[in-house]
Amino acid sequence: MSETRTQAPQPAPEMDYIETEENRAAPLRGSYDDCAWAKRPDPIPETQIAETQETEVLIIGGGIAGLAAGARCTDLGLRCAVLEKHHGIVARGAHIACTDSPVMRRLGVSIDKKQFARDWMHICGSRVNEELLWLYINNCSEAVQWLTDLGGDDVELRLFGGRYKGPDFTEYDGTHYMVEKPGHTRYKNRLGASLMCEMLQERCLEGEGNRILRKTKALYLEKDAAGRVAACVAECEDGHYRRFRGTRAVILATGDIGSNPDMLKTFCPLGLVPKRNGYAPQVPDPERPGHKIGLNTGDGHRMAYWVGGQFETPSWALSLHLLAYSIYVFFFLFVNRQGKRFMNEDTWVQAKAIRCAMQPQGDFAYTVFDRKWFQELGERIDITGGQFTEPLVTDYGDKWSEDNGIDRQIERYVARGTCFKADTLEELAAQMEVPIETFLATVARYNELCALGEDLDFGKRSELLTSITEPPFYALKWGPALLNVHGGMLTDTAMRVLDAESRPIPGLYAIGNVAGGLYGVDYPLLWNGNSHSRALTWARAAVADIAEQG
């Protein structure tokens, strides 16, 4: 017999209100003055500053975000100067994402924005500024269309078809890539980010008086008497220091902190784990002769901090890609350098990269497969797919073709020594330099699970369990590389940098990877190409605000 009980309402528990120096200062008002990287350089003596140059909008950093801001200044009739420390166009990658485009509509592809936002927040560890997320979701398509229109009839935006199609981790359609149309010769770069940056540069320089000054490294910002950020001091190509004034605003677009180990220690310790830095371009490292370093040394983050800007709370998101050694990873058996299986091979790129990096000697791992692999891959492509399983340039609707070049690429890796091939598993283990007995036991156990049809050890989908029984056997070497760290300054939705009291610092904007708030703790590869369209969207928001401020 059941008994109905009436529950007395529970009072909220009593809690002490605690306010100390420490929690008053955290988390939004962190002080990093004790960190070596936070030391402000001494100002350059006035006698050493060769001259002062003036523009309306001073943009520091000429990657995709900075060039987009420059191009938008042209549209809105603002005069600008872009200061860039590198000698040429800085761009990488191919993909750019948006929620809607003419090609998506033509192909009948759409995105449920509300679900997309929920998935984004979920993956980013609930640390997303939802105002920024919705600014991005609602404006990225217009930004990508604007960019496409800059190329007129010479370019086209194609919809990428190589998304992951498994059940557990949703990747959204909406990743695109820009190409110059066949037979057209307006641009030097044919495809991807290099093309997009060239288009933006062209538009930027169309504005009267607009300039891009390369080999010009900004050192620190200056405020005017009214407390407004109004200038920076930079070291120029000719070796002279100059002051560059932005009468309307200063925009920081200097990229991320991924090549600054001290800043990584503070904000993203996981970024120190991978042994490869995938940022491009890389230049000789002044601190370590014989080594190279990316341009993403957190210069803008520090400049903003020195004038009172606040960082989002660490730990910051990073993007790790499986780019070291090979660009294919697949879903077959993964084996670490100890010869052991270590994960469900059917997860997403970030998960694979981070699991690999966390292994002992985690700079690389192997995917092990046998003679049947190409057929097994083709038979399963419609339930797997995604980056590092399919070619990076795959069009929406493309069907599996024996001619897709993946098998030829693997044979090239064999010739290059980043994929081993052997007639016995013992020989393969010897080439891989893993303990033979452990490796044989790993493969035997995996084959046992395949025969059983159930992955009792790591829960991989049964459809993806394929045996390793027929020679030749392969071990494809792959490893994680750090691309970018996606954390930075707190901003409002006009991209104005916020101070310790969450007030905008007059005159100062942060865009691209200098801006924080969108990614929380993990880079959401549910949508490849979001970083590029975020850069465009933030650039447009900042310049729109500057134009509106008058």
Ligand X SMILES: Cc1cc2nc3c(=O)[nH]c(=O)nc-3n(C[C@H](O)[C@H](O)[C@H](O)COP(=O)(O)OP(=O)(O)OC[C@H]3O[C@@H](n4cnc5c(N)ncnc54)[C@H](O)[C@@H]3O)c2cc1C
371 vs 188: CA distance, rounded Å: 42
Using the rule CB under 6 A, is 386 a contact of ligand X? no
- Dig out the tokens for 9 from the structure: 């309402």
159 vs 166: CA distance, rounded Å: 19
From candidates 58, 73, 80, 83, binder to ligand X by CB under 6 A: 83
Using the rule CB under 6 A, is 512 a contact of ligand X? yes
From candidates 161, 278, 479, 507, binder to ligand X by CB under 6 A: 278
Using the rule CB under 6 A, is 195 a contact of ligand X? no
Secondary structure of 62-87 in HEC code, one letter for each residue = CCHHHHHHHHHHHHCCCCEEEECCCC
57-65, 155-163, 426-434, 458-466 -> range binding ligand X (CB under 6 A): 57-65
Do 59 and 251 meet the contact criterion of CB atoms below 8 Å apart? yes
Residues in the chain: 550
DSSP string, 214-241: -S-EEEEEEE-TTS-EEEEEEE-TTS-E
From candidates 529, 536, 540, 543, binder to ligand X by CB under 6 A: 529
Residue 470 DSSP class:
S
- Give the nearer residue to ligand X in terms of CB position, either 38 or 422: 38
What are the φ/ψ torsions at residue 327 (nearest 5 degrees)? -110, 10
Using the rule CB under 6 A, is 60 a contact of ligand X? yes
Omega prior to 315 cis, within 30 of 0: yes
**Dihedral sign from CA coordinates of 91, 92, 94, 98:** negative
Which residue stretches of 385-435 are H helix?
406-416, 425-432
36-44, 54-62, 99-107, 239-247 -> range binding ligand X (CB under 6 A): 54-62
What are the φ/ψ torsions at residue 221 (nearest 5 degrees)? -100, 160
Using the rule CB under 6 A, is 513 a contact of ligand X? yes
Using the rule CB under 6 A, is 57 a contact of ligand X? no
User: Of the candidates 214, 281, 306, which has an alpha carbon nearest to the alpha carbon of residue 508?
Assistant: 306
- The least CB distance from residue 224 to ligand X, in Å, is 21
144 vs 137: CA distance, rounded Å: 12
From candidates 255, 385, 516, 524, binder to ligand X by CB under 6 A: 255
Per-residue x/- marks for ligand X, 94-133, CB under 6 A? xxx-------------------------------------
Dump strand ranges (E) for 253-312. Answer: 276-277, 282-284, 292-294
Using the rule CB under 6 A, is 253 a contact of ligand X? yes
93-101, 268-276, 348-356, 433-441 -> range binding ligand X (CB under 6 A): 93-101
- The least CB distance from residue 128 to ligand X, in Å, is 17
From candidates 250, 483, 495, 526, binder to ligand X by CB under 6 A: 483
CA angle 460, 168, 351 (to 5 degrees): 70
Using the rule CB under 6 A, is 524 a contact of ligand X? no
Using the rule CB under 6 A, is 161 a contact of ligand X? no
From candidates 165, 217, 223, 275, binder to ligand X by CB under 6 A: 217
Using the rule CB under 6 A, is 64 a contact of ligand X? yes
55-63, 105-113, 161-169, 284-292 -> range binding ligand X (CB under 6 A): 55-63
From candidates 148, 296, 350, 384, binder to ligand X by CB under 6 A: 296
394 vs 378: CA distance, rounded Å: 14
Do 63 and 91 meet the contact criterion of CB atoms below 8 Å apart? yes
From candidates 72, 85, 127, 341, binder to ligand X by CB under 6 A: 85
Using the rule CB under 6 A, is 84 a contact of ligand X? yes
Residues making contact with ligand X (CB under 6 A): 60-66, 83-86, 90, 92-96, 217-218, 253-255, 278-280, 295-296, 299, 483-484, 512-513, 529-532, 535
